[in-house]
Amino acid sequence: MQITCGTDIIEIRRIKESIEDLGEKFLNRIYTQTEIEYCESKKGQKYQHYAARFAAKEAIFKAISKDIKDKYEIGWKDMEILNDEQGRPQVRIKEMQRENIDISISHCKDYAVAMVVMLVEK
């Protein structure tokens, strides 16, 4: 097994513009229905949560480095960021054991960041 990590930072403005310009086409390409429902429940703050999930997925793409990409070929909607009852984010990636992935997310008015750590088979 091998530990791998990834991180990403994003301007919330960029995600807001994509959603405003492309609407559901953008949302349905990037986010699962559960993620959309979670972000929409945040009303005025929703772009922070959408941006955080975008950053989270970019961080996962980075963590899945080139040499292991073939094994875990994934697209945007093969990854899902869920929150437990305490609000802690959790990742579901197809075919990957949930206990082998941990993620942390933060966002403020202008930026969202995410970092992920994974344990993958070599």
Ligand X SMILES: CC(C)(COP(=O)(O)OP(=O)(O)OC[C@H]1O[C@@H](n2cnc3c(N)ncnc32)[C@H](O)[C@@H]1OP(=O)(O)O)[C@@H](O)C(=O)NCCC(=O)NCCS
The H-assigned helical ranges of the chain are 12-22, 24-30, 33-40, 46-63, 66-69
- Binder among 89, 92, 102, 117 for ligand X (CB under 6 A): 89
Task: Give every CB contact of residue 71 below 8 A, 6+ residues apart in sequence.
Answer: 120, 121
Span near ligand X by CB under 6 A; candidates 4-12, 59-67, 68-76, 103-111? 103-111
**Which position among 43, 86, 95, 122 is part of the footprint of ligand X (CB under 6 A)?**
86
Pairing label, strands 101-107, 89-93: unpaired
And the tokens for 83?
A: 């929150």
The stretch near ligand X (CB under 6 A) out of 9-17, 27-35, 58-66, 99-107 is: 99-107
Number of residues that bind ligand X (CB under 6 A): 10
Question: Contact with ligand X (CB under 6 A): which of 10, 107, 116, 120?
Answer: 107
Residue 49 lies near ligand X (rule: CB under 6 A): yes
Residue 112 and residue 10: Cα distance in Å, rounded? 5
Rule CB under 6 A: is residue 7 a binding residue for ligand X? no
Tell me the catalytic residues. Answer: 62, 107
